[in-house]
Amino acid sequence: MSIFLVDLREAIGNGLTVQPIANMVNHETNELFFDNLELPLDSLIGEEGKGFRYILDGLNAERTLIAAECIGDGRWFIEKASAYARDRVVFGRPIGQNQGVQFPIAEAHVEVEAADLMRWRACDEYDSGENAGASANMAKYLAAKASWEAANACLQTHGGFGFACEYDVERKFRETRLYQVAPISTNLILSYVAEHLLELPRSF
């Protein structure tokens, strides 16, 4: 496999077709169809045949970056949920005084902060040129899970207003759900851990 830099202004209509995919998150997503696309020789990136290595190296950085994004999402949900739980009064007291409301938010906070530690481990390994594959995958797994749990706690804390667009919770809820699937799905991370860290037989 080799990778190329493609000038979209020249390629679209000359071998490349771009088909937008309408989707549930605020994310520009397209299907690309390549059909006899011709490229100039100097569009090759690096050395021929080494494309997969280059992509793999970038994937660890991407997973760490997505972990950071999820941690940001998680903190946003936790702050938003805590603020609402302090202010919203039902039956004469703030809803946040009830452990049934507090505990899911507190649990999400614990998990987001734990994911953050793994995120920094992945950053340190990547920056020092070590193989960051295990930490990057685990950071992405933990952060995606933590942000999704924080999203659930936040939506639940807001009750009916969790569904109202003006609070932004429903929008962020949809957005953070993406990270269970992309850029690598949770199952495929578990599969990586099983095979590469625990030396279990490859499952596919």
Ligand X SMILES: Cc1cc2nc3c(=O)[nH]c(=O)nc-3n(C[C@H](O)[C@H](O)[C@H](O)COP(=O)(O)OP(=O)(O)OC[C@H]3O[C@@H](n4cnc5c(N)ncnc54)[C@H](O)[C@@H]3O)c2cc1C
Q: Where does this chain bind ligand X (CB under 6 A)? A: 23, 25, 27, 29, 178, 181-185, 187-188, 191, 203-204
Q: What residues contact 34, with CB distance under 8 A and at least 6 apart? A: 15, 16
The alpha helices in the chain, defined as continuous H runs, are 8-11, 51-87, 99-127, 133-157, 169-177, 186-192
Q: Which one, 131 or 185, has the nearer CB to ligand X? A: 185
**Which residue is closest to ligand X by CB?**
185
Q: Which one, 83 or 188, has the nearer CB to ligand X? A: 188
Question: What is d(CA 66, CA 189) in angstroms, rounded to the nearest whole number?
Answer: 14
SS in 3 state form for 22-33?
A: CCCCCCCCEEEE
CB of 48 to ligand X, least distance (A): 21
CB of 63 to ligand X, least distance (A): 11
CB of 172 to ligand X, least distance (A): 15
Question: What is d(CA 155, CA 171) in angstroms, rounded to the nearest whole number?
Answer: 10
Q: How many CB atoms lie within 10 A of CB 204?
A: 6
Could you tell me if 136 and 122 are in contact, meaning their C-beta atoms sit under 8 angstroms apart? yes
CB of 156 to ligand X, least distance (A): 24
CB of 30 to ligand X, least distance (A): 9
Q: Which one, 36 or 203, has the nearer CB to ligand X? A: 203
Q: Which one, 46 or 183, has the nearer CB to ligand X? A: 183
